[in-house]
């Protein structure tokens, strides 16, 4: 994997000083740190507790990157002020990736909204005080396209209305955090902001802790989703999400802009299962082969909160544009089929999924 990271436009002469990454213990953050180190960036990462540094090192090693000499750690939690000033001190750019993304929604939405929104403001405030040039924030398509439009076509011009009926807490946390970030820079200035809005992120995993998105693939491969909801979503590769952050960090035209990160046309759960079946015939029996109808979903959503999102979307097929990232930042994401296959292969390689063919 390291060779692949280097082949994607690496330079031995970083155009930034020390880069601070939040959320490095996570899926996107782990890939982000590996890529930065492989390109020779001095990289500081925040972890919530000092003992968590080993987790980041394990992710970086798994990516095949051996530049730990460039890695520094700082301790800070999005929910508290402590540590952010020290984390940002001497930093030229911040990649603010961290945000709570639990597999199961919490009972109280503030558990997500407060760390996402107030944590973002803590990061921005510390960064501005430290004289950081630019912050790139990982937002989400959740902040763009969850207030359904009649034509179902979405670009960076679109915003999810946080008051949308039935909007899940995670989506609300992302839209409120991104709004707060733009308000911060527009009101007070003094720092550049660029935002990346990825759709569902898939692609190789680097460790046993799985992001909410990747649990879908594991669940499908292990027979945990015998029937799937009728729902279409965008897919983007984690390596391309990282690549887009780096372009947004460096490109002069990225300041003040948001960029949708999407690898291709939206796919359905069943379409994802078909791709997996074609790639891994040994998983055929475990993989879902049918989907709920809309009526079945609406009925099931009455007792199953996890289906409310899908039922509310009513089988729509969102058309999500990557034109801006492609044209402004020359971003070229890989094919969605490859991303789905690589997700599965990495889960198997790490022993997180074992395929058992029926005799």
Which residues contact ligand NAP by CB under 6 A? 23, 25-29, 48, 77-79, 97-101, 115, 119, 138, 140, 174, 198, 200-201, 211, 213
Residue with tokens 């999924």: 353
Helix, strand, coil share (%) of the chain residues, nearest 5: 45, 15, 40
Residue nearest to ligand NAP (CB): 26
CA gap 2, 35 in Å, rounded:
8
Contact (CB, 8 A) for 68 and 279: no
Q: Which position among 149, 172, 174, 358 bears the catalytic label? A: 174
Closer of 179 and 298 to ligand NAP (Cβ): 179
How is residue 114 written in tokens?
């407060």
Closer of 111 and 299 to ligand NAP (Cβ): 111
Contact (CB, 8 A) for 194 and 134: yes
Q: How far is the CB of 75 from ligand NAP (least distance, A)?
A: 10
Closer of 77 and 299 to ligand NAP (Cβ): 77
CA gap 185, 182 in Å, rounded:
5
Q: How far is the CB of 286 from ligand NAP (least distance, A)?
A: 22
Closer of 114 and 300 to ligand NAP (Cβ): 114
Enter the DSSP assignment of 15. S
Distance linking the first and last C-alpha atoms of the chain: 34
- Please give the C-alpha separations between residue 99 and each of 25, 60, 202, 212, in angstroms, as whole numbers: 11, 20, 17, 12
Q: How far is the CB of 233 from ligand NAP (least distance, A)?
A: 9
Q: How far is the CB of 28 from ligand NAP (least distance, A)?
A: 4
Cα torsion at 270, 275, 276, 281 (round to 10°)? 110
Closer of 145 and 312 to ligand NAP (Cβ): 145
3-class SS of residue 115: helix
Residue with tokens 């509310």: 312
The separation between CA 275 and the C-alpha centre of its own chain, rounded to angstroms, equals 21
Q: Does the annotation count 149 as an active-site position?
A: no
Q: How far is the CB of 49 from ligand NAP (least distance, A)?
A: 8
Q: How far is the CB of 201 from ligand NAP (least distance, A)?
A: 4
CA gap 177, 195 in Å, rounded:
11
Closer of 30 and 288 to ligand NAP (Cβ): 30
Q: Catalytic positions, please?
A: 174
């Amino acid at each position: 994997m390291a060779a692949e990271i280097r082949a994607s436009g690496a330079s031995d002469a970083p155009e930034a000083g020390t880069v601070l990454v939040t959320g490095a213990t996570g899926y996107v953050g782990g890939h982000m740190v590996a890529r930065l180190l492989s390109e020779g960036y001095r990289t500081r990462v925040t972890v919530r507790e000092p003992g968590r540094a080993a987790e980041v090192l394990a992710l970086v090693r798994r990516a095949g990157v051996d530049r730990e000499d460039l890695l520094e750690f700082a301790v800070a939690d999005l929910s508290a002020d402590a540590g952010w000033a020290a984390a940002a001190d001497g930093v030229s750019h911040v990649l603010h990736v961290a945000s709570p993304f639990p597999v199961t929604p919490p009972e109280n939405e503030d558990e997500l909204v407060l760390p996402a929104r107030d944590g973002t403001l803590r990061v921005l405030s510390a960064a501005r005080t430290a004289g950081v040039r630019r912050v790139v924030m990982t937002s989400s398509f959740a902040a763009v396209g969850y207030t359904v439009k009649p034509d179902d076509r979405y670009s960076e011009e679109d915003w999810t209305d946080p008051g949308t009926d039935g909007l899940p807490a995670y989506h609300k946390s992302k839209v409120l955090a991104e709004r707060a970030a733009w308000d911060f820079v527009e009101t007070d200035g003094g720092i550049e902001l660029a935002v990346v809005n990825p759709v569902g992120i898939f692609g190789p995993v680097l460790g046993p802790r799985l992001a909410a998105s990747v649990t879908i693939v594991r669940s499908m491969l292990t027979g945990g989703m015998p029937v799937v909801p009728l729902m279409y979503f965008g897919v983007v590769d984690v390596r391309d999400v990282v690549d887009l952050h780096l372009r947004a960090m460096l490109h002069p035209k990225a300041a003040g802009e948001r960029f949708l990160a999407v690898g291709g046309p939206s796919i359905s759960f069943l379409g994802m299962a078909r791709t997996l079946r074609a790639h891994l015939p040994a998983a055929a029996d475990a993989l879902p082969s049918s989907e709920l109808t809309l009526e079945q979903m609406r009925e099931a959503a009455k007792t199953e909160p996890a289906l409310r999102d899908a039922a509310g979307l009513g089988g729509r097929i969102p058309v999500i544009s990557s034109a801006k990232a492609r044209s402004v930042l020359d971003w070229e994401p890989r094919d969605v089929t490859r991303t789905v296959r690589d997700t599965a292969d990495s889960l198997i390689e790490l022993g997180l999924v074992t395929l058992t063919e029926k005799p």
